């Protein structure tokens, strides 16, 4: 009729009541198909690892570039293709581009940033899910190898840069010595007429300056010596704490007893060295015993014993940090002592020049191999020298030392685990989603079937709306016995057809849902 009678809430309930069977039928068909797909969604096992970024940042720009290179390498196409081919992921692979994209989405790298450094990460959590728990662990282990390789590369770079810095420091020291000699020679080349007075004045000024500098250096030397002595005493105390921190763990084996004996002997040797000479009988005996204990520890380690006993405890880590700090203090003390020696030599040189003879002007010094940027004056060299010392101290953390191995930039806190229980899918949530989808499909089917009735005259309300006349009477529809039988047979045949169509639609709908990967995507979340 081109239009339809407006329906109210009562009419909508009548439609739902009238089409309740169709809604239930479609809901059951879709729910059964979804159930078939849900029960066939494979279990996913999740393996995870956690990596902490070192708090020592010796070059923010270089370290940020290193982190960016590692994170980009994890999801690089070459790395993803290698994992797919190595572990037969997404087999059979018909489209490598889609397989690499799916693998990149499956690898989760969550980054936690520091609160005190904008944009610099604090830790990474790397996870991967796969139907096979062993493959999930192996994939995470391979990805973790990228961080280990980055640690090796960074350690090599730090060692190489430290070597270059030491070479440059030696060049700067030579240049400073040349500048000092040049200034002394230039001061000695004054005119013969005013040589005695002017040279004596200059010598006195230089001696005063050197004396002042010597006093400052001696004060600095004394302060550093006190700090080194205090640090050594703190290390001895910390060694005692390490020795007594976990007696129940290390005393339970011969390796623990050897380690305890070694710590005692080292503390005893340090005490004797501070009080006696190297020929002191007890000191000699203690060193021989220490050599014997170290030999027994090496033999125990070679036979595979003591692996657990040598694991670092928090007290041992603190001891290592204190030893690194002691090494830094001794390096700084050595620099001060070298500068003090140079000043003393300069003072002796100035004091030994006769006042009546004009000093010989030496030839111009040869060009230095120093290639540091900036000014070649003494002030510029000293500033560069200070910068190099600070850089060397920052790099010392990432280099192996006698106190222990280098601190890794990427510290592996949790090794990749072998999952025992599946992490996904949660089938209960998937079935709730399937139920909602089935009810929606049933309502849509009811609306589609009911649409033709909206424009037709079906009852007295439609007559009154479309014709504008009231209904006076309504005659009930009567059927004969044969008509009732035929109607019953038609209803039976119709229901049978619906059942057959519904049974045929279940595998078809299951195929469509499985092909669309809707439940697979939802189950992997």
- Give the distance, in angstroms, between the CA of residue 351 and the centroid of all CA atoms in the same chain: 60
pLDDT in tens, 472-500: 666 666 777 887 888 888 888 888 888 88
Of residues 243 and 305, more confidently modeled: 243
Q: What's phi and psi for 17, nearest 5 deg?
A: -65, -40
> How far is 9 from 449, CA to CA, in rounded Å?
19
What is the gyration radius of the CA atoms in the chain, in angstroms?
43
pLDDT at 372: 43
Phi/psi region, residue 336 (left: phi>0; alpha: psi -120 to 50; beta: rest), is alpha
Q: Which residues are CB-neighbours of 283 under 8 A, at least 6 positions away?
A: 269, 272, 273, 276, 277
pLDDT at 458: 67
> How far is 514 from 525, CA to CA, in rounded Å?
17
> How far is 48 from 123, CA to CA, in rounded Å?
13
Return the HEC string of 150-164.
Answer: HHHHHHHHHHHHHHH
Going through 394-488 in order, the beta strands assigned E by DSSP cover 410-414
**Which has the closest alpha carbon to 128: 148, 110, 146?**
110
- Give the distance, in angstroms, between the CA of residue 87 and the centroid of all CA atoms in the same chain: 24
What are the CA-CA distances from residue 155 to residues 144, 168, 377, 401, 479 (Å)? 17, 20, 34, 12, 97
pLDDT at 349: 76
Q: Which residues are CB-neighbours of 381 under 8 A, at least 6 positions away?
A: 172, 175, 176, 179, 370, 372, 375
pLDDT at 305: 52
> How far is 390 from 196, CA to CA, in rounded Å?
44
> How far is 368 from 365, CA to CA, in rounded Å?
8
pLDDT at 155: 78
SS3 of residue 355 by DSSP: coil
pLDDT at 362: 42
DSSP, res 189: T
Contact 276, 286 (CB under 8 A): no
What are the CA-CA distances from residue 69 to residues 57, 63, 73, 149 (Å)? 16, 10, 6, 12
> How far is 304 from 481, CA to CA, in rounded Å?
97
Which structure tokens are listed for 187? 């001061």
What is the mean pLDDT of the segment spanning 341-365? 57
Considering Cα of 363, then 369, then 374, then 380, what sign does the dihedral take? negative
Q: Which residues are CB-neighbours of 470 under 8 A, at least 6 positions away?
A: 464
Of residues 418 and 408, more confidently modeled: 418
> How far is 253 from 150, CA to CA, in rounded Å?
36
Q: What is the mean pLDDT of the chain?
A: 77
> How far is 285 from 278, CA to CA, in rounded Å?
11
Contact 126, 107 (CB under 8 A): yes
Which structure tokens are listed for 89? 């992921």
Q: Residue 438 CB: number of other CB atoms within 10 A?
A: 23
Residue positions counted in the chain = 525
- Percentage with pLDDT > 90 across the chain: 11
> How far is 51 from 409, CA to CA, in rounded Å?
10
Considering Cα of 81, then 82, then 85, then 87, what sign does the dihedral take? negative
Q: Is the pLDDT of residue 423 over 80?
A: yes
What is the mean pLDDT of the segment spanning 313-336? 78
Q: Is the pLDDT of residue 353 over 60?
A: no
> How far is 68 from 62, CA to CA, in rounded Å?
10
Of residues 463 and 83, more confidently modeled: 83
Q: Residue 468 CB: number of other CB atoms within 10 A?
A: 7
Residue with tokens 């849902």: 513
Q: Residue 459 CB: number of other CB atoms within 10 A?
A: 11
pLDDT in tens, 366-387: 333 334 444 457 778 888 888 8
**Which has the closest alpha carbon to 411: 50, 47, 56?**
50
Which structure tokens are listed for 446? 């009811």
pLDDT in tens, 275-309: 777 777 777 888 888 888 888 888 877 776 544 44
pLDDT in tens, 75-118: 899 999 999 999 988 878 888 998 899 889 889 998 888 776 56
> How far is 384 from 370, CA to CA, in rounded Å?
11
**Which has the closest alpha carbon to 142: 113, 91, 107?**
107
- For 188-220, give one letter per residue: b (16+ CB within 10 A) or e: bebeeeebeeebeeebeebeeebeebbeebeeb
In the chain, how many H helices and how many E strands? 16, 4
Contact 519, 513 (CB under 8 A): yes
> How far is 88 from 112, CA to CA, in rounded Å?
32
pLDDT at 49: 93
Instruction: Say if pTM beats, i.e. exceeds, 0.75.
Output: no
């Amino acid at each position: 009729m081109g239009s339809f009678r407006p329906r109210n809430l009562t009419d909508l309930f009548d439609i739902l009541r009238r089409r309740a069977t169709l809604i239930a039928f479609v809901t059951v068909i879709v729910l059964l198909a979804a159930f078939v797909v849900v029960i066939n969604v494979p279990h996913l096992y999740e393996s995870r690892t956690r990596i902490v970024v070192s708090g020592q940042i010796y070059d923010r720009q270089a370290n940020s570039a290193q982190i960016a290179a590692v994170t980009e390498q994890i999801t690089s196409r070459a790395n993803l293709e290698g994992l797919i081919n190595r572990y037969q992921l997404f087999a059979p692979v018909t489209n490598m581009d889609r397989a690499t994209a799916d693998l990149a989405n499956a690898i989760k790298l969550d980054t936690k940033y520091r609160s005190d450094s904008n944009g610099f990460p604090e830790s990474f959590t790397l996870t991967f899910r796969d139907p096979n728990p062993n493959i999930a662990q192996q994939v995470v282990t391979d990805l973790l190898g990228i961080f280990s390789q980055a640690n090796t590369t960074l350690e090599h770079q730090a060692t190489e840069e430290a070597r270059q810095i030491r070479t440059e420091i030696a060049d700067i020291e030579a240049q400073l010595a040349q500048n000092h000699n040049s200034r002394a020679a230039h001061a000695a080349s004054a005119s013969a007429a005013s040589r005695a007075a002017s040279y004596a004045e200059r010598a006195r000024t230089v001696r005063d300056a050197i004396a002042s500098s010597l006093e400052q250096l001696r004060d600095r030397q004394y302060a550093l010596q006190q700090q080194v002595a205090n640090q050594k005493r703190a290390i001895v105390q910390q060694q005692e704490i390490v020795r007594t921190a976990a007696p129940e763990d290390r005393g339970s084996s011969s390796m623990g007893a050897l380690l305890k004996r070694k710590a005692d002997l080292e503390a005893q040797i340090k005490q004797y060295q501070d009080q006696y000479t190297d020929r002191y009988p007890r000191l000699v005996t203690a060193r021989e015993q220490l050599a014997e204990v170290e030999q027994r520890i090496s033999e125990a380690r070679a036979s595979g014993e003591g692996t657990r006993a040598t694991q670092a405890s928090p007290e041992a880590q603190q001891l290592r940090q204190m030893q690194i700090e002691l090494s830094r203090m001794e390096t700084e003390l050595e620099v001060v002592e070298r500068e003090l020696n140079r000043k003393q030599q300069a003072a002796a040189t100035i004091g030994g020049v006769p006042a009546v003879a004009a000093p010989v002007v030496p030839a111009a010094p040869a060009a230095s191999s120093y290639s540091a940027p900036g000014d070649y004056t003494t002030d510029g060299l000293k500033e560069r020298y200070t910068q190099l010392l600070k850089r060397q101290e920052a790099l010392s953390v990432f280099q192996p030392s006698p106190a222990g191995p280098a601190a890794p930039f990427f510290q592996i806190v949790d090794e990749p685990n072998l999952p025992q229980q599946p992490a996904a899918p949660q089938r209960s949530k998937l079935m709730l989603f399937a139920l909602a989808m089935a009810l929606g499909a049933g309502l849509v089917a009811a609306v589609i079937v009911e649409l033709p009735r909206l424009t037709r005259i079906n009852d007295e309300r439609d007559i009154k709306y479309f014709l504008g006349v009231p209904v006076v009477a309504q005659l009930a529809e009567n059927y004969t016995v044969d008509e009732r039988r035929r109607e019953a047979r038609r209803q039976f045949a119709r229901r049978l057809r619906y059942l057959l169509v519904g049974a045929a639609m279940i595998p078809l709908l299951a195929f469509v849902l499985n092909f669309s990967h809707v439940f697979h995507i939802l189950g992997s979340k």
